[in-house]
Amino acid sequence: MDLPAAARRLKQEWLNFFEHVPRPARCPCCGGRRVHWNGSRTRKVIVLVGGSSIELSGVRCRRVRCAPCRASWTLRPPGLAPRRQFQLCVVARATSRYLFAAKASLSTTAAEHVCSPRSLGRWLTWVGGLASPAALQQRLAEAVGSPLLAAFREVSDLGRKATSAPRRRRLGLAAQVLVLIEALGHAIGAEPPGLRGVLERVLAGRDRVTTEARPRVPELAARQTWCGLGTIPM
């Protein structure tokens, strides 16, 4: 497949990271210094490049292992989410388009982003479960140092997209969370989209935290997690 120039540059950046990343001096689990290279793994990911979802195959990531405690982990280049084929930029774009574009449907939006309608449906549920709107509103107030209400966006053409009360609630919740996370990302100076920028800050490179399936980032609702972000007053 002939990749666009921007996609080739991104893949080259990730290759440069693989070739030049230094071996960690200490194990993050036990603090031991006997950390060794432990081979590599190859990934296939879907990223958003120039507004289009592009597949990048053969993305190599180094593995390391701690001899004393036998913990192992992956050194991922910046912007590569752990345990996720569709990167968060794609998820943010797909869910936002479906929720806020009047004529969008599950099938057409999924086709535009090289995913299945079922995957898009799971992403909508996942986004809505990342944190409660109240908790995100509190994180936003902490970020700017004063109370601030983010402008709410209604789901476009909700009657067509949701014919049952539970589905209307699910889409409405996803829309609230998506808007609040976007506002929070802007407040802390994270690279857009907010869904990617905020979660990258919270996850902080931890290899064993997944952003797939059910939410695994309860830190969005925990005040103490923001201490390491620096840009948020405590």
Single out the residue in 25, 52, 75 at which a domain terminates: 75
Cα–Cα distance for residue pair 91/196, rounded to 1 Å = 9
Looking at the structure, tell me whether residues 48 and 111 fall in a common domain: no
- Closest residue by Cα to residue 182 from 172, 169, 196: 196
Looking at the structure, tell me whether residues 24 and 132 fall in a common domain: no
Looking at the structure, tell me whether residues 39 and 121 fall in a common domain: no
Looking at the structure, tell me whether residues 159 and 132 fall in a common domain: yes
Looking at the structure, tell me whether residues 67 and 103 fall in a common domain: no
Distances (CA, A) of 165 to 73, 125, 170: 43, 15, 9
Residue 234 lies in a domain: no
Q: Is the pTM of this model over 0.85?
A: no
Single out the residue in 75, 102, 136 at which a domain terminates: 75
Q: Which conformational region is residue 186 in: left (phi greater than 0), alpha (psi within -120 to 50 degrees), or beta?
A: alpha
**pLDDT at residue number 216:** 46
**pLDDT at residue number 104:** 96
Looking at the structure, tell me whether residues 132 and 68 fall in a common domain: no
SS3 (DSSP) at 223: helix
Looking at the structure, tell me whether residues 112 and 194 fall in a common domain: yes
Domain count, the chain: 2
Residue 80 lies in a domain: no
Residue 122 lies in a domain: yes
**pLDDT at residue number 201:** 82
Copy the structure tokens of residue 64. 């390391």
* Tens digit of each residue's pLDDT (9 = 90 or more) over 110-162: 999 999 999 999 999 989 988 888 888 888 888 888 776 677 889 999 999 99
Cα–Cα distance for residue pair 73/207, rounded to 1 Å = 6
- Neighbouring-strand partners of residue 65: 36, 72
Looking at the structure, tell me whether residues 42 and 158 fall in a common domain: no
Residue 190 lies in a domain: yes
**pLDDT at residue number 78:** 85
Looking at the structure, tell me whether residues 64 and 96 fall in a common domain: no
The range of the structural domain enclosing residue 14 comes to 5-75
HSE-up of residue 61 (Cα within 13 Å, Cβ side): 20
Does residue 174 have a pLDDT over 70? yes
Looking at the structure, tell me whether residues 17 and 66 fall in a common domain: yes
Cα–Cα distance for residue pair 4/57, rounded to 1 Å = 14
**pLDDT at residue number 226:** 41
